[in-house]
Amino acid sequence: MYKVLVTDDISPKGLEILSNDEEIDLDYQPEIKFDELLEIIKDYDAIITRSRTPVTKELLERAEKLKVIGRAGVGVDNVDLEEASRRGILVVNTPGANTIGAAEITMAHMYAVLRKLHLAHDSVKAGEWKRSKFMGEELDGKVVGIIGLGNVGSQVAIRCKAAGAKVIAYDPYIPKEKGDRLGVEIIDDLHELIKMSDIITLHCPLTEETRNMIGKKEFDLMKKGVYFINCARGGIVDEDALYDAIQEGKIAGLGLDVFSKEPPDDGIRRLFEFPNISLSPHIGANTYESQDNVAIKIAQYVIAALKGQFVEVAVNAPFTITEGFENIKAYLELAEKLGSFLTQYAGGHFTEINIEVRGSIKQHIEPITAFFLKGFLSPILDTPVNIINAPFIAKERGVNIVKSTREAGLNFKEFIKITARSKDKEVSVGGTALYDKFPRIMMVDNYWIDIEPQGVILMFENKDVPGVIGKLGTLLAKHNVNIAGFRLGRLEKGKIALGALQLDDRLNEEILEEIHQIPEIIKAKQVIL
């Protein structure tokens, strides 16, 4: 028997699944206090929580038998993932279980501000009958710009198209073929989408890349009279810039379910002065159906994990390093770095990724693939990605993974080559581990180059003429940025060269813009490894 403790309120449908399993001894204590939990946790094989219960290092230290932590929801902020991983405790959550709820609350806010339903409601309740005061706009015929075409964004797209809207989307990590299937035009440039849209709705995760992604520049580019909806994450929007846009009369209607601070502080609450604003307290997943789905899935996942079955939504499952794997640890690190490098350097829109492993390490292609996908996906998601859930996430995002092996190469006996393809481009990166210990990126596209995958790397293509490095060095020196290393590759003298500068400090947007102004520079991209 496995003892399972549920410490937060979940749908009875999930409890029923747990109760009906002959191998599960269920203890349901949704109001248990943390001090009491500390005293009894030693007796349980699994714990299921929501956001109320903190699964801290202190708790895990006392959890002598704990094998699985189930988080009924997407976020795992209340779980000490590092400590759980260190102790070999599997953490599972329920991504996608509340997709429809999140999509529908987006539509609710959208219709509310288009038709001023919330304002009309208050007016009628106050005893008024001022029909002409509430002239609205129709979704039919509007251009809806969706930023983030994942699970929720896709469902919003389907609903907007059904209402007669033209739907466009920006998501650099979703293949264009997915847009084709949905009847959605994929726009490669965020700012172009912003300028084209009558309604803008956010559905991307909160990552370092997306934090404050919608700021003053983006609001300035929007049409006057735009409708703006955010039911994704509060930190994606610079709320000071949003307030200024409202003050300038840029926005016709605003719908918000999320805020950078929850509950909102006074700085955010000043947004509420705007009359046509529809607000809710982060309730996108608060539907009976979503909560049923969450409870059912978490019960199924926890039972499967306890019985030793593969759980594709594991958040943290550590990869077991056996004696055989010890010899390829450097190649696993290399694979992860190649994945992160590829995403940061080349962006997305990849429909197929070919992972080719050469030499004696080819027998370990499965863990190499998992580590690569972890590196490839981590920079673009705000939920934990590990070697267990990374293949599942890639599949969910419509990326076809092709694995192949070859005998030892001529230049390097052991080599990992990644080729990423989309409809209109192909990018390849590859590398080896020197002396089987030191990971190196040795190939970018057709250029042979030797890059230590560590720290800040400025990748750039330039015309192969004298003086380019001097100009670049002078510019960086002006901004007090020190160069730690330099590598150069070229295919033919006098044509195009590929450079990699390893820097001591990150570059801000201003410096990157200046680099792009150097006439000989064709393109430049900062990569953080």
Same domain membership, residue 6 and residue 81: yes
pLDDT value of residue 251? 97
Same domain membership, residue 301 and residue 269: no
pLDDT value of residue 320? 44
In this structure, what are the phi and psi dihedrals at residue 170, rounded to the nearest 5 degrees? -120, 120
Decide which of 408, 424, 453 is a domain's last residue: 453
| Domain presence at residue 314 | no
For the chain, list residues with pLDDT below 50: 318-323
pLDDT value of residue 121? 95
Range list of β-strands (E), 109-205 = 143-147, 166-170, 185-186, 199-202
pLDDT value of residue 288? 94
| Domain presence at residue 108 | no
pLDDT value of residue 322? 44
| Domain presence at residue 285 | no
Helix axis angle, 151-162 to 99-115, nearest 10°: 40
Same domain membership, residue 194 and residue 122: yes
**Maximum alpha-carbon separation in the chain:** 84
pLDDT in tens, 154-198: 999 999 999 999 999 999 888 888 899 999 999 999 999 999 999
Q: Mean pLDDT for the chain? A: 92
Same domain membership, residue 153 and residue 12: no
pLDDT value of residue 325? 57
The DSSP code for 214 is B
| Domain presence at residue 207 | yes
- How many CB atoms lie under 10 A from the CB of residue 289? 13
Catalytic residues: 233, 262, 282
Positive or negative, the CA dihedral 138, 140, 143, 149 is positive
pLDDT in tens, 343-400: 999 986 789 999 999 999 998 898 899 899 999 998 888 776 777 778 878 888 889 9
| Cβ-Cβ contacts under 8 Å for 102 (sequence gap 6 or more) | 152, 155, 231, 284, 285
pLDDT value of residue 323? 44
Q: What is the CATH number for 491?
A: 3.30.70.260
Same domain membership, residue 234 and residue 127: yes
pLDDT value of residue 348? 67
| Cβ-Cβ contacts under 8 Å for 138 (sequence gap 6 or more) | 114, 164
Same domain membership, residue 230 and residue 166: yes
| Domain presence at residue 407 | yes
| Domain presence at residue 107 | no
pLDDT value of residue 191? 97
Decide which of 453, 486, 508 is a domain's last residue: 453
Distance between CA 85 and CA 82 in Å, rounded? 5
Same domain membership, residue 63 and residue 90: yes
pLDDT value of residue 317? 58
| Cβ-Cβ contacts under 8 Å for 509 (sequence gap 6 or more) | none
Same domain membership, residue 350 and residue 435: yes
pTM: 0.75
| Domain presence at residue 189 | yes
Number of domains in the chain: 4
Same domain membership, residue 443 and residue 522: no
Same domain membership, residue 425 and residue 469: no
Strand-pairing partners, residue 503, are: 456, 483
Same domain membership, residue 211 and residue 160: yes
Same domain membership, residue 29 and residue 172: no
Task: Tell me which residue range forms the domain holding 202.
Answer: 117-275
Q: What is the CATH number for 40?
A: 3.40.50.720
| Domain presence at residue 89 | yes
